[in-house]
Amino acid sequence: MAANIGILRRPVSTEGVWGWITTVDHKRIGILYGVSAFIFFLIGGIEALLMRVQLAQPDGTFVEAGTFNALFTMHGTTMVFMVVMPAGAAFFNFLVPLMIGARDVAFPRLNALSYWLFIFGAILMNFSFFKAAFPDVGWFGYAPLTTSEYTLSSSTDYWVLGLQIMGIGTTAAGFNFVITILNMRAPGMTLMRMPLFPWMTLIVSFLIIFAFPPLTIALTLLLFDRFFGTNFFDTAGAGADPLLWQHLFWIFGHPEVYILILPAMGIVSDILPTFSRKPLFGYTTVVFAGAVIAFLGFGVWAHHMFTTGLGAWATAAFAGATMAIGVPTGVKIFNWLATLWGGSIQFKTPLLFALGFISMFMLGGLSGVMHAAVPVDTQQQDTYFIVAHFHYVLFGGSIFGLTAGIYYWFPKMTGRMLSERIGKVHFWVMFIGFNMTFMPMHILGVLGMPRRVYTYSVDQNWAGLNLFVSIGAFVIAVSILLLIINIVRSARKGEAAGMNPWAAATLEWAIPSPPPHYNFAVIPTVRSQHPLWDEEANAVEPPPLPAHGEPHMPDPSYWPIVIALGITMVAGGLLIWQANTWLGLLVIAVFGFVGIRGIYGWVFEPVAEESAERVHAHH
């Protein structure tokens, strides 16, 4: 039997564009995620700036209402699903195998499929801009506004299908990383010796596995409502319930918040010990607090719905649970501060961003406790106070944490240091711009400015603060320019990093920068939480290649991108079907076949091309 049953032979070259398209190397997939996330970060940022121009003065006429509604919808959707999540995935991919002493993730081709589904889903959703208009129903898309009766354009269909496709990829990635972390740790790397970043990755992966199915279900029901006239959410008919959408969305949506923040917490927990030159204070507590946050995160979704008319008991229970989640979060902050206590603190750029994370995230947490108090929430819900709160958590938290990660691990990824000088300026400009933008939003919220309004009038007296906020937004934009300059300059002529430029303790620093494609020539043996601080053997030069030469790594594969294309274009066919039934059905049939053929090819793909030749030779 011929092992190669595909039309596409298993590729062997890792060179050039095809090398990237067919790659199954976790480090390359990590870079793909990172670059894609950064591009979407710029797009989402431009959307934010356009909104701030519109709101800089009362009765603004820069954009129309519909455009503004599309801008905030896409800004939110982009930043959550196309920026912070894939940026987290970039770090998971690049670092987790290195930090646990593995050569790749458990399922390298599935890993590539996750990336291609993410990028194709994101492109499909943004493609609505050229076909109809950007989706304009808000990032949490409350029914029945999203049903066909109230949304005249097909933009919402792009939103539903784009999210659904990205969700499939994310769910697969969740399984991949749980299995990788549980099964592929180096000898001696017990779970309780694992660095915090892989720990948080493990917890986030479990969150993904349990949180994404409710979203998938909600989107499927909405899809059925929109395409086939079922009646899950549209109240015009009998039996539908618009609040069902909110429950399903937030059962996903609140754990999602922790999916966005826990990776940053992991990054910060690994950066602090390096730059205070001492171990993480209360390692066990910090790990356990992360797990408790994730667990409680599934029991607080209805705090997004305090004003929807839940019963008193439900409201009280969810308020209590929401306050409870503040406890493990507070514990983490205190443990981080105790890590700094008694240290010898080196104020390098990664630490500055980590400190920015701790301080700003704490403020976001405190405002979060404020609207856990239900009476207060009746005045804060859907105002700029909420906008301020979640930007302190997701920008002050996630983005500062991820940026700390960029400065910390860029040397490992590229072999070159980012400039400390530009880095420090970048930090201060971003820190000041961030607070100029989001601190006054608290006051605007107290003054009653509702979120998601494209305009406000002079007599509401919000003009001065709004102008100040808009100026702050452009200060943030300047800081992002500084980051781009730093990356571009340093990637070409930055100082050479060497293996362990920060004298850090974890395994990824025991191999060259950038790491060879097989990561570890010899898999290390681990005997403590700080293999490079406590163990002589791991701290010196990596062992030479063994006699049999380079470790054999999985060959590249075409099938991940083929399957992702098939799935995405079936969704595209569904969109075409609305305008042209037969063309739509044709596209669905053709690409349905491509997808199924892709799965078939994937399943029977030989381990490597030369093995096919060997089979031939035997005949």
Partner 1 sequence: MICVTIAPLARGYATNVTTPTAHPQNLAATLRRLLYFALAAVALVAVLASCDTPLTTFEPRSDAAQRVHTIYIFVIVAASIVGFLVLAGMAYILWRYRERPGQKAQQIHGNATLEITWTVIPILILIAIAIPTIVWIAGTTADPDEDALHIEAVGHQWWFEFRYPGLGPNGEDLVTANELRVPVGRQVAITLEAKDVIHSFWVPQLVGKTDMVPGRTNILEKFTPTEIGTFYGQCAEFCGSAHALMRFRVHVDSHADFDRWVENMNAAPVEPEAGSVEAAGARVFGNFCARCHTIEGVSTEDIGPNLTLFGDRATLGAGILDSTPENLKAWVSNIRDIKPVLETTNAMPTFYVGDPLIDQLTEAQVDQVVAYLKSLKLR
377-406 positions binding partner 1, by CB under 8 A: 377-383
For residue 355, what is the DSSP state? H
Q: Answer yes or no whether residue 604 interacts with partner 1 by CB under 8 A.
A: no
Q: Contacting partner 1 (CB under 8 A), which of 19, 58, 188, 450?
A: 450
Q: Answer yes or no whether residue 581 interacts with partner 1 by CB under 8 A.
A: no
Distance CA 198, CA 207 (A): 14
Applying the rule CB under 8 A, the residues between 50 and 69 that interact with partner 1 are: 64-66, 69
Q: How many residues does the chain have?
A: 619
Q: How far is the CB of 252 from partner 1 (least distance, A)?
A: 19
Q: Contacting partner 1 (CB under 8 A), which of 11, 58, 213, 242?
A: 242
Q: How many CA atoms lie within 13 A of 529 on its CB side?
A: 18
Beta bridge partners of 450: 383
Q: Answer yes or no whether residue 128 interacts with partner 1 by CB under 8 A.
A: no
**84's tokens:** 């912070």
Interior CA angle at 92 toward 503 and 401, to 5°?
A: 65
* CB neighbours of residue 478 within 10 Å: 13
Q: Answer yes or no whether residue 366 interacts with partner 1 by CB under 8 A.
A: yes
Q: How far is the CB of 448 from partner 1 (least distance, A)?
A: 3
Q: Answer yes or no whether residue 327 interacts with partner 1 by CB under 8 A.
A: yes
Q: Answer yes or no whether residue 443 interacts with partner 1 by CB under 8 A.
A: yes
Distance CA 405, CA 197 (A): 10
Q: Answer yes or no whether residue 456 interacts with partner 1 by CB under 8 A.
A: yes
Residue 468's alpha-carbon distances to 24, 56, 300, 371, 446, in angstroms, are 47, 8, 34, 25, 16
- State which residue, 190 or 344, has the beta carbon closest to partner 1: 344
Residue 208's alpha-carbon distances to 112, 214, 279, 402, in angstroms, are 17, 11, 29, 19
Q: Answer yes or no whether residue 342 interacts with partner 1 by CB under 8 A.
A: yes
Residue 482's alpha-carbon distances to 422, 424, 445, 598, in angstroms, are 7, 10, 31, 43
Q: Answer yes or no whether residue 326 interacts with partner 1 by CB under 8 A.
A: yes
Find the DSSP H helices in 13-62.
Answer: 16-21, 26-55
Query: Is the CB of residue 52 less than 8 Å from the CB of residue 473?
Result: yes
Q: Answer yes or no whether residue 455 interacts with partner 1 by CB under 8 A.
A: yes
Q: Answer yes or no whether residue 513 interacts with partner 1 by CB under 8 A.
A: no
- State which residue, 287 or 521, has the beta carbon closest to partner 1: 287
- State which residue, 150 or 593, has the beta carbon closest to partner 1: 150
- State which residue, 376 or 594, has the beta carbon closest to partner 1: 376
Q: Answer yes or no whether residue 338 interacts with partner 1 by CB under 8 A.
A: yes
Tell me the window of 159-167, 238-246, 411-419, 579-587 that interacts with partner 1 (CB under 8 A). 238-246
Applying the rule CB under 8 A, the residues between 290 and 309 that interact with partner 1 are: 307-309
Tell me the window of 6-14, 126-134, 359-367, 480-488 that interacts with partner 1 (CB under 8 A). 359-367
Distance CA 157, CA 241 (A): 20
Query: Is the CB of residue 124 less than 8 Å from the CB of residue 572?
Result: yes
Q: Answer yes or no whether residue 277 interacts with partner 1 by CB under 8 A.
A: yes
Q: How far is the CB of 379 from partner 1 (least distance, A)?
A: 4
For residue 25, what is the DSSP state? -
- State which residue, 65 or 599, has the beta carbon closest to partner 1: 65
Per-residue burial over 120-137, b = 16 or more CB atoms within 10 Å of its CB, e = otherwise: bbbebbbebeeebbbbbb
Q: Answer yes or no whether residue 453 interacts with partner 1 by CB under 8 A.
A: yes
Q: Contacting partner 1 (CB under 8 A), which of 14, 57, 230, 235?
A: 235
Q: Answer yes or no whether residue 190 interacts with partner 1 by CB under 8 A.
A: no
Q: Answer yes or no whether residue 349 interacts with partner 1 by CB under 8 A.
A: no
Q: Answer yes or no whether residue 372 interacts with partner 1 by CB under 8 A.
A: yes
Name, in order, each residue with C-beta under 8 angstroms of 21's C-beta and a sequence gap of 6 or more.
558, 561
**241's tokens:** 């319930």
Number of residues that bind partner 1 (CB under 8 A): 93
